[in-house]
């Protein structure tokens, strides 16, 4: 039905199968559109009728081309990250395309960070992580897009640093960039019509410009898909289930050497060597954590994944990548991070192993709390 039809808004080829990709239109809307001889993709439809921005992602090549174009502008770059998944939020090579433009680093989803974690400590930590990745933000700020917290402070900072220039908002998919921009649009009563303007050269995507004043705009850019994110191995339903929606409550485990924690069937933590100690898990509060003996863990996983250890569900197990082992020896109190799922805080001088689906990283950092 959708063959060869183009959106009359942005010109993208209409398709009904891949939500979040260019040209997506639900089948029912396509039928209506064909009757009215006016087919819009969902993104353009919502933009026109609800003044609302929808997430859209691009392929690596298009995305890199687009970033290259930002380097040539004189603008403020607002870089949105998910503070619960900082490593999964990194844009490869961001420091190269930033050029000499200032970067305002925005940590979204502040609402899910444990309240035991001081906010100044969090922003210091974000700045440090940015520096490690070659980015020196002019400022760091925390927001919660879906709770509409911190929006006024963010807008004040944008105004302070943009000095009349355009603002480019960048971020990988799933960090909540669209939610944040829609919140900004809502709070800025002056904004009436979102406009799609010229195309980002070399890509199939139109720019969405949100006018700030007569001379400058805020420009939404598509998210890049970060292959390292757990999000790509889970269905939308499961993703909702493992992504914290509320404040994460730390869970304390007293572990002996030779014990294992399964994080549902998605990941695994082994205490390989060290004195009996406390380990603290920071995960979605309802994520099932199962303790077992390390020596039986392989067999236990093989037997129970998809059943007791779910997600993944039984019909997804065959598609789900094998867990891969990453070993760490700590010298200071550290966090073992399972990209997109959360982390376990471990004491100094222990050997531990983190297992995650092949393709998803497990990393170590100095403890955040």
- In this structure, the number of other CB atoms found within 10 A of the CB of residue 299 comes to 10
Pick 219 or 261: Cβ nearer ligand GDP: 219
Min dist CB 276 to ligand GDP, Å, is 35
The residue within the footprint of ligand GDP, chosen from 108, 123, 221, 229 (CB under 6 A), is 108
The residue within the footprint of ligand GDP, chosen from 176, 274, 312, 354 (CB under 6 A), is 176
- Name, in order, each residue with C-beta under 8 angstroms of 236's C-beta and a sequence gap of 6 or more: none
In three-state secondary structure terms, 83 is helix
Cα 148 to Cα 145, 153, 252: the distances in Å are 5, 11, 31
In the bound state, the residue with its beta carbon closest to ligand GDP is 176
Is the alpha carbon torsion for 296, 299, 304, 306 positive or negative?
A: positive
Contacts of ligand GDP in 280-309 (CB under 6 A): none
Q: Does 177 bind ligand GDP (CB under 6 A)?
A: yes
Contacts of ligand GDP in 128-167 (CB under 6 A): 144-147
Min dist CB 332 to ligand GDP, Å, is 29
| Contact in structure between 136 and 128 (CB atoms under 8 Å) | no
The residue within the footprint of ligand GDP, chosen from 87, 123, 174, 260 (CB under 6 A), is 174
The three state secondary structure string of 181-241 is: HHHHHHHCCCCCCCEEEEECCCCCCEEEEEECCCCCEEEECCEECCCCCHHHHCCHHHHHH
Distance of alpha carbon 327 from alpha carbon 364, whole angstroms: 10
The residue within the footprint of ligand GDP, chosen from 87, 179, 203, 259 (CB under 6 A), is 179
Pick 23 or 150: Cβ nearer ligand GDP: 150
Distance of alpha carbon 229 from alpha carbon 240, whole angstroms: 14
Piece in contact with ligand GDP (CB under 6 A), picked from 35-43, 44-52, 170-178, 258-266:
170-178
Question: What letter does residue 14 receive in the DSSP assignment?
Answer: P
Distance of alpha carbon 68 from alpha carbon 99, whole angstroms: 9
Size of the site for ligand GDP (CB under 6 A): 19
Piece in contact with ligand GDP (CB under 6 A), picked from 98-106, 109-117, 268-276, 358-366:
109-117
Pick 55 or 265: Cβ nearer ligand GDP: 55
Per DSSP bridges, beta strands 334-338 and 362-366 are antiparallel
Tokens at 302, concatenated? 């093989």
Q: Does 357 bind ligand GDP (CB under 6 A)?
A: no
Question: Interface mask (CB under 6 A) for ligand GDP, residues 31-60, using x and -?
Answer: ------------------------x-----
Min dist CB 140 to ligand GDP, Å, is 16
Distance of alpha carbon 56 from alpha carbon 66, whole angstroms: 14
Chain residues binding ligand GDP by CB under 6 A are 55, 108-109, 111-112, 144-147, 171, 173-179, 223, 245
């Amino acid at each position: 039905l959708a063959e060869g039809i183009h959106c009359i808004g942005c010109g993208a080829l209409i398709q009904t199968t891949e939500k979040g990709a260019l040209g997506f239109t639900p089948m029912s809307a396509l039928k209506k559109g064909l009757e009215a001889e006016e087919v819009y993709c969902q993104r353009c439809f919502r933009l026109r009728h609800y003044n609302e921005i929808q997430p859209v992602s691009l392929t690596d090549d298009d995305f890199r081309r687009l970033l290259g174009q930002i380097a040539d502008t004189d603008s403020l770059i607002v870089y949105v990250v998910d503070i619960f998944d900082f490593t999964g939020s990194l844009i490869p090579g961001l420091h190269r395309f930033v050029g000499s433009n200032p970067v305002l680093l925005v940590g979204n989803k502040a609402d899910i960070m444990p309240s035991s974690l001081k906010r100044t400590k969090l922003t210091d930590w974000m700045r440090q992580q940015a520096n490690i990745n070659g980015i020196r933000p002019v400022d760091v700020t925390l927001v919660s897009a879906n709770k509409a917290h911190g929006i006024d402070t963010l807008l004040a900072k944008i105004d302070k640093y943009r000095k009349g220039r355009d603002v480019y908002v960048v971020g990988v998919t799933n960090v909540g960039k669209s939610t944040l921009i829609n919140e900004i649009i809502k709070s800025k009563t002056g904004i009436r019509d979102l406009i799609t303007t010229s195309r980002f050269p070399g890509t199939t995507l139109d720019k969405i410009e949100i006018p700030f004043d007569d001379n400058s705009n805020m420009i939404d850019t598509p998210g890049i898909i970060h292959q390292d994110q757990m999000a790509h191995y889970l269905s939308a339903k499961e993703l909702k289930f493992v992504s914290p929606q509320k404040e994460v409550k730390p869970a304390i485990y007293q572990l002996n050497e030779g014990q294992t924690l399964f994080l549902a069937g998605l990941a695994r933590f082994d205490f390989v060597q060290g004195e009996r100690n406390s380990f603290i898990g920071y995960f979605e509060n309802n994520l099932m954590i199962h303790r077992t003996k390390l020596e039986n863990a392989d067999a236990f996983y093989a037997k129970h994944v998809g059943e007791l250890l779910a997600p993944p569900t039984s019909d997804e197990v065959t598609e789900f990548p094998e867990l891969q082992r990453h070993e760490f020896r700590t010298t200071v109190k550290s966090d073992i991070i399972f990209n997109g799922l959360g982390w376990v805080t471990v004491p100094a001088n222990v050997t531990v192993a983190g297992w995650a689906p092949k393709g998803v990283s497990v990393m170590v950092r100095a403890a955040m709390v």
